[in-house]
Chains A and B, each alone.
Chain A
C-alpha cells in the first residue's frame, strides 16, 4: 500500500468535526461480487476530494451508501460527524447530491422540478423556496430555461439542473457523481469554477470521476479505487509524490548530462536526439529542479531547455496497480 494510504490509517469512528466523510471497512456485496470492498475513506472538511476509479470500480455504489440509499453489507459510514444511515434525516439536509446522473420529471418544468425536490426536504424553509430555486437556476446558468419542460432539455442542461438541485440550500457537503458528464467544454469549465467557488465558501466537495486530468485540476485530495478497493488516498501532492520525479533536459551534450544526472541519483535515458529524460527512483531524497540545473550548468553542460514535471495521477495510478486505467472485472 502507498505511504499516503497508510497515512489514512484506521482511527476509530469517533465524532470528528474536522472530517466531512469517514468510512470504516465499508463493504457492499451484490451476490458474491464485491462492488465495494473494505473501504476506509477520510475526507477532511473543506477539501475538494476527488474520488477516482475506472468504470465499475464502485464509485457510485460508495456514494449511494454515503447517502443512505444502499445499506452496506459491512462497515460504517459517518457523514458530517454523524452516523449514517441512523441519523440520515438530520444529515442529508446539509448535503447536496448528484448521483449517477440527473433525474427529473420530464413533464414538469425545470423550476417545478426544483420546487418538488425542495418540498421533499423536510427542513427547507418554505418562505425562501422561490428565491432559492431562482438563485440555484441562475448559479448554473439555466434561468432562461426555467419554465421549459425538462423533456425538452439537452443532456448538458439536465446535468446543470442536477447541479442546481444540489445547490438548493446552503450545504456543508456536496457529493457529486461525475458532474461534468455530458457537458460541453464551456460547461465543464463552468462546473470546475463553480466547485472552486463553493470550496472557497467552505463547502466540502466530494467529486467522483473517471477523468484523472479533471481531478488534477480542481482537487486538493483524492482517493483511487480499483475493483472496489482503495489503492491510495491523500493530498494530491502526496499521491503524485512531492519530490521531483522526472526532469527533461534538452542539450547537445547528452552523455555528459546523463553522467551528471546519474550523479544526482536519477536514472537518465535518451528519449530523443538532443533530449535526456531522467526520473528519480525514490520520491524522497530526490534533488529539487533548481539543484539539477545548477549541477548541469556547473559541469559545463549546454542546457538549451529544461522541464521538471510532476508525475501525473495517471502515472501514479499505473504505478500503484500495475495496470492501466481501464474497466477491470
Chain B
C-alpha cells in the first residue's frame, strides 16, 4: 500500500511545493531575506569609514577583502530572528492555513490521508528552509561579486583559502543554517495542527524561537542549554575554521533530529485524531 502509493505521494509533494511557491508571500519573504546581505554590502561599501573591526556583526570587516563574506554575515545576522520568522510563517501555516481556507476538509476527503498530508507538509516546509538559507547566499554572493573583490578569504583560524573554497564554505554554512531550522519547522507543524488560525500558529512558533534564544543567553540555566533547539544556531562559524570543526554540525543535527522526532510525533498524535470542523 505505502510502496505502491509512493509515486502518488511524490506528486502530492510536488503539488504542495507548487502551491507554496506560487504564493506571493513566499517570494516576498525570500526577497526580503536576500535583501539583508545586499543592504549589509551596500552599507560597508559606501560608508565613509571602514567598518571598525571587532564591532558589529561577526566577519563584517572581512567583506572588503572577500565579497563572499556578505553572504556569511547575512546568514549570521538572519539566524536569530529573520530566518526563524519566515520559517515560523511557513511551518505555522502548513495545516492551520488549509483549515482556515477550508481546503483541509477537501484534501482529507479526496482522500489525501492524514499521515501522508502531514509528511508532505513537513517536507515542503523543510524545502522552504533550504530556499530561505539559499536566498541569503544568493543575495550575498551577488552583492559581494558586484561590490567587492573575490580574493583570498581569511578564516577564523588565520588560514587563507581560495575564493572557490570560500564559496564551498558558504554553501556549507547555508546547509548548517537549514538544519538549524528543521527543529523549528517541526514545532511550527505541531502548532499548526493545534488551531484553525494560521496567524496563531505562526506567532507561537516565532515566540518559541525567541524564548529559546533568551533562555540560551541566561547563564543560570546552563543545564538547560544543550536541550534548546537554538543552542547551536550561532556555532555556524565553526565551519570557518581550518580544519572544519564538525563537532557542532553533528551535535546540531542530532539535536534537530530529536526535535523533529518529538514534535513530529506530537503533530501526528494530534492530527490523526483531530476532528476537522473547519
Interface residues, chain A, with chain B CB atoms under 8 Å away: 64, 67-71, 88-89, 92-93, 95, 97, 99-108, 115-123, 126, 165
Are A99 and B109 in contact, with the CB atoms below 8 A? yes
Q: Most B CB atoms within 10 A — which of A64, A102, A116?
A: A116
Contact indicator A115/B19 (Cβ below 8 Å): no
A120 & B273 in contact (Cβ 8 Å cutoff): no
Task: Establish whether residues B105 and A120, one from each chain, have CB atoms under 8 Å apart when the complex forms.
Answer: no
Answer whether residue B162 sits at the interface, using C-beta atoms and an 8 A cutoff: no
- Given the interface pairs A89-B111, A122-B113, the reply to whether A70 lies near B22 with Cβ below 8 Å is no
The smallest C-beta distance from A316 to any residue of chain B, in angstroms, reads 31
Q: A89-B113, A92-B111, A99-B109 are in contact. Are A64 and B277 (CB under 8 A)?
A: yes
Q: Which residues of the other chain, B, contact A101 by a CB distance below 8 angstroms?
A: 102
Q: What's the Cα separation between A170 and B99 when bound, in Å? A: 27
* Closest chain A residue, CB of each to CB of B9: A122
A69-B105 in contact (CB<8A) = yes
Residues of chain B touching chain A, judged by Cβ–Cβ distance below 8 Å, are 5, 7-9, 11-12, 15, 19, 22-24, 101-103, 105-113, 116-117, 273, 275-277
**Complex contacts, A95 vs chain B, CB 8 Å:** 109
A-B contact pairs, 19 of them (CB 8 A): A67-B105, A67-B109, A69-B105, A88-B111, A89-B113, A92-B110, A92-B111, A103-B101, A103-B105, A107-B23, A117-B107, A117-B110, A118-B110, A120-B110, A121-B111, A121-B112, A122-B5, A122-B110, A122-B113
Contact of B22 among A69, A100, A103, A108 (CB under 8 A): A108
Contact status B109-A103, CB under 8 Å: no
> Which chain B residues border A69 with CB–CB below 8 Å?
105, 108-109, 275-277
Complex CA distance for A126 and B12, rounded to whole angstroms: 11
Chain A residue at minimum C-beta to C-beta distance from B15: A119
Interchain nearest-CB distance for A133 vs B (Å): 13
Is the pair B19, A92 in contact by a Cβ cutoff of 8 Å? no
Give the chain B neighbours of A116 by CB distance below 8 A.
15, 19
In the bound complex, residues from chain B placing their C-beta under 8 Å from that of A64 are: 105, 275-277
Q: Which residue of A lies closest to B14 (CB)?
A: A119
Given the contacts A69-B275, A122-B113, A115 and B15 also touching, CB distance less than 8 Å:
yes
A123 to chain B: which residues have CB within 8 Å? 8
Instruction: Give the residue name and chain of the A residue nearest to B108 (CB).
Output: A69
Alpha-carbon separation in the docked complex, A162 to B113 (Å): 20
Known: A69-B109, A103-B101. A119 touches B276 (CB 8 A): no
Q: Are A120 and B112 in contact (CB under 8 A)?
A: yes
